[in-house]
Amino acid sequence: MQTTLSERCLWLQTSAEAPVQYPALTNQEEAEVCVVGGGITGLSTALHLAEKGIKVILLEAGDIPTGGSGRNVGLVNAGLWIPPDDIVAALGEEKGERVNTILGGAPAKVFDIIERYAIECDATRTGTLHLGHNTKGCQELARRRDQLQNRGAPVTLIEGEACERMTGTSQIHTALLDKRAGTINPCAYTRGLARAAADLGAILYCQSPVTGIERQEDRWRVLTQNGSVTASRVVMATNAYTEDDWNQVRQHFFTGHYYQLASEPLTGEAADAILPEKQGAWDTRTVLSSIRRDKAGRLILGSLGKGEGKPLAYLTRWADTIQNHYFPELGNVRWEYTWTGKVAFTPDHTLRIFEPAPGILSATGYNGRGITTGTVVGEGFAHYIANEDDSLLPLPLSQPKPIKARPLWSCAYEGGFSLYHAGQCLRVLI
């Protein structure tokens, strides 16, 4: 059994993109656009605005990255969480297919930025694997395969011995391979976006939490404790880490969490057999388990729910249970890192892009698809600001109704996740 598990984020510890100490805002500034939030959405917005020569100032409450942009699984996935036909059913034909098309092409956008700006984020482009853990799960994968192939997506069902070779486990007999996708170190990607934006002239301020926004004639004044930015347009890119009551983004999602554990670097035949082509993977369980390897060969397991505040022995028990189920040949594994990030959920599992007031743009509700969705939303915001054209956004700007009973949604989700994990630890749900 391990004795070295500590609450640290692996991605921050192993990022090849070095941290940069951006200054805090201490005076009164002016820009064409002020971006609030230094995660992937905000930095993608700033980068694409800077590419167009538009003066942009970004304000981040902590460092880059602080929130989920540096703490997620690192899967560069296409589309939304739900299948494309379900997206159409939820949003209607026109909007649904717009989401399917734009987010289906989102991984290519991410990898293009990585290549253009030489971002060192351990990117792989060998796809991702959705793992069918039982008969019902395999049937769901076949349904997704059919819907995606009908839209021209390069997806394939891998079955039998080929599936076992590709996943490294005899517990999975069917997996859906999406060749559009891949993996990254999300912290390194976020830092790389910041570096690229700053190199193009975007001004980044960290340790500068916004305390409010006020209208000044036809412009907006974004306030911090020690300064302000006055701009014609404001982009609220705070997503799951929105905490202030004045920020209307808070009304349009409910908070969830995702935790992960990473092992020590693994070597040997048993380790090399796990995801040998370096795909990221997740299963079809009611409360999913994610599985991937990093550049050093660590095994990284994760699931929905909050790891913070839970005993390390509980988290280790969960990780041991999942590892022994899927990869018993490894024997005892020593876990070194565990960390938690926030997820912005919506009841219909679709994102929201809206304009809470004239000149203010907002997006939230990525439901666990933040790398790709945040990247294309940022590009879409920049295009809209420059051209008054929202066609690059996954959805047109709208005025959605606030989500009711958000704390109850959060409690219900977290309670369900915890019960499910307890069942796994007791080997009732394996």
Summarize pLDDT for 338-375 with one digit per residue, the tens: 999 999 999 999 999 999 999 999 999 999 999 999 99
pLDDT in tens, 247-256: 999 999 999 9
Q: What is the pTM of this model?
A: 0.97
Is residue 316's pLDDT more than 50? yes
Confidence check: pLDDT of 428 > 70: no
Tally of CB atoms within 10 A around 19: 13
Q: Which of 244, 211, 197 is nearest to 44 (CA)?
A: 197
Q: Which CATH number is correct for 6-425, 3.50.50.60, 3.30.450.20, 3.40.440.10, 3.40.50.10420?
A: 3.50.50.60
* CA-based nearest residue to 259, from 305, 291, 191: 305
Mean residue pLDDT across the chain:
96
Q: What is the pLDDT of residue 3?
A: 54
> Which band of pLDDT confidence, cut at 50, 70 and 90, is reported for residue 400?
very high
The whole-number pLDDT of residue 4 equals 82
Long-range contacts, 155-160 (Cβ 8 Å, 24+) = 155/179, 158/129
CA distance 69 to 368: 11
pLDDT band at 110; cut points 50, 70, 90? very high
To which residue do tokens 């997740």 refer?
282
User: With 90 as the cut, is the pLDDT of residue 103 above it?
Assistant: yes
Query: What is the DSSP track for 11-54?
Result: HHHH-SSPP--PPPP-SEEEEEEEEE--SHHHHHHHHHHHHTT-
Mean pLDDT confidence for 406-422: 94
Q: How far apart, in Å, do the first and last CA atoms of the chain sit? A: 21
Confidence class of residue 240 from pLDDT cuts 50, 70 and 90?
Answer: very high
In this predicted structure, the answer to whether residue 98 has a pLDDT above a threshold of 90 is yes
pLDDT, mean of residues 65-69:
94
User: How far is the C-alpha of 312 from the C-alpha of 5, rounded, in Å?
Assistant: 7
166-222 pLDDT, tens digit each? 999 999 999 999 999 999 999 999 999 999 999 999 999 999 999 999 999 999 999
Q: State yes or no: pLDDT of 39 exceeds 60.
A: yes
Counting residues of the chain whose pLDDT is more than 90, the rounded percentage is 95
Q: What is the pLDDT of residues 268-315, one digit of tens each?
A: 999 999 999 999 999 999 999 999 999 999 999 999 999 999 999 999
Angle between helices 312-326 and 406-425 (to 10 degrees): 60
pLDDT at 1 over 50: no
pLDDT at site 2: 46
State the Cα–Cα distance between residues 392 and 379, nearest whole angstrom.
7
Residues of the chain with pLDDT > 70, as a percent, come to 99
Tens digit of pLDDT for each residue in 318-341?
Answer: 999 999 999 999 999 999 999 999
**Range 188-220 burial, b when 16+ CB lie within 10 A, else e:** bbbbbbbbbbbebebbbbbbbbbeebeeeeeeb
Q: Can you tell me the mean pLDDT for 377-401? A: 97
**Element (H or E) spanning 166, and its range?**
helix 160-167
3-state secondary structure 305-364: CCCCCCCHHHHHHHHHHHHHHHCHHHCCCCEEEEEEEEEEECCCCCCEEEEEECCEEEEE
| Separation between Cα atoms, residue 294 and residue 302, nearest integer Å | 13
> Do the Cβ atoms of 175 and 318 come closer than 8 Å?
no
User: What is the per-residue pLDDT for 426?
Assistant: 81
**Residue-by-residue DSSP string for 77-93:** --S-SS-HHHHHHHH-H
pLDDT band at residue 19 using 50, 70 and 90 as cut-offs: very high
